[in-house]
A and B are shown apart, each in its own frame.
Chain A
Amino acid sequence: MNYLAFVLRRLITLIPVLFGISLLVFFMIHLVPGDPAVTLLGSHATTSAVAELHKQLGLDHPIWRQYLTFLNHLLHGNLGESYQYKSSVTSLISQNLLPTVWLIVAGVILAVLISVPLAVWAASRRNRLADSAIRTIPLVGLGMPAFWLGIMLILLLSLKAGAFPASGFGTGTLNHVRSIILPGLTVALALVPILVRSLRASLINVLQSDYIVTARSKGLGAPRVVLGHALRNAAISSVTVLGVNIAYLIGSTLVVEKVFALNGVGFLMITAIFNRDFPIVQGVTLLFAIMVVAVNLLTDISHAALDPRVRLS
């Protein structure tokens, strides 16, 4: 079937991208001229430590061989070993993955719950007061740093109102839910301005389409026009808008985890930065890129499932 062919073709395009991602992540340590071992350990490292790392990284080998070794390890799920924890980066990441996944899911749900009603409201009362008010949100929100927003939410909802814990992930599902709301709200609110703006534009586009007039001229009732004609078309453009922005949301979890001391992979990476623990930074960066690639893939696949023009062209 055409759809399967589309998915297959889309999967094949992933190969060069994943290859490029591995190259970029690999070459990160070679950005600074000189011995990467010295760069990684900092200028006040002992010569023996530098020598040991030099050997560990296989820096004596030609660079292409170093890359092939790296790629080979990568394909076997081996992201190297943390200097500080002395355990494999893969296991460290999998230990810390849960809060990050919670955060992304909570962020996406909250972002959709906040943005979609606002966008629908603005689009349906176009150029009236509510619309103008909603349209100014992006102007103010665009320059709002996610971490600062998180701090403000802690100040208002945690310290002042005492409604939510200010940090940590808690134990047990119920506490997880309580703990994830503020960070989730933070990443969601950081995204809302952009999301509302794009969703509003695409909704207005759909509602003004000639085919909506056609449907109405058929004498169909409002529910049928909305459910049968407007919704699916609006969903098509919204899925793309959402997909692009979820990538942005994933990026903002990094610093938000730090604000809320949420022990996810972002927190792991930031801690590793302070410990100059390069393999962790490298591994988490790679993980984030793969998450974005996966989200983009899902977006395209669901877009094609909804829109016959994509898969048939």
Chain B
Amino acid sequence: MRASLILGALLSGLALAAALVSFLWTPADVTQLAIAQKLLPPSGQHWLGTDHFGRDMLSMIMVGARTSIAVALVAVGIGMGFGVPLGLLAAARGGWIDEVVMRGNDLVFAFPSLVIAILITAALGPSALNAIIAIGIFNIPVFARVTRGGALPIWTLDYIRAAQVAGKGASRISIQHILPNIANLLIVQGTIQFSLGILAEAGLSYVGLGAQPPTPSWGRMLAEAQTMVALAPHVAVIPGLAIVVTVLGLNLLGDGLRDALDPRLRGSP
């Protein structure tokens, strides 16, 4: 499935490029309100039309991509940073350490990121940081599980035994042998969590638990568009499409990477 790898890289590259370019240039200034120009359909001047404040939709989408990507990326970082070491530890030590880590994971799994966001927001008030923390916390057990699941079968292999006979301890083996051999799994899971993070951020911002005005965000654009769906469908359709394209791109990329990185499908004796 080379096709999914290429298409995935193209689509997610598009979202990333939009976010990066927005720092240097956008077709219009998103802080400039022009009520007279509100809810214009797509045209030569505004390629994707304008919203209810008359802001250029294309510019809004580009700036919104920043929020989505930043939130999801940092959340993946949090998940990997805590989850991978936990998973490696659980697999290497087994016994009660494994039990504690895994039960802790189950517990966190019982708190969907929306619930965590609700709790944090209730406690500290809404902000984009909440979304990052909520999605990040939810990512931790995901990565811990994937890491442990990938590491356990490797621990039964003879090359681990050979490393032990060569006097290497559990942490050295985890870093030298286990981690490189599950890197593929982690990369693939990383892209999946990235895409889930973008979806989750959109959902949280949509219900007001994520990015706050004036930070542009795809989810909040949809929330604001809701009352105007019937009047000007494009204000609701376009941010949604942006989410779909980005998430689809990342999922395809993950799938493509899974196949491309699978040692069973690669190289021959």
Q: Do A and B bind each other?
A: no
Chain B interfacial positions (CB closer than 8 Å to A): none
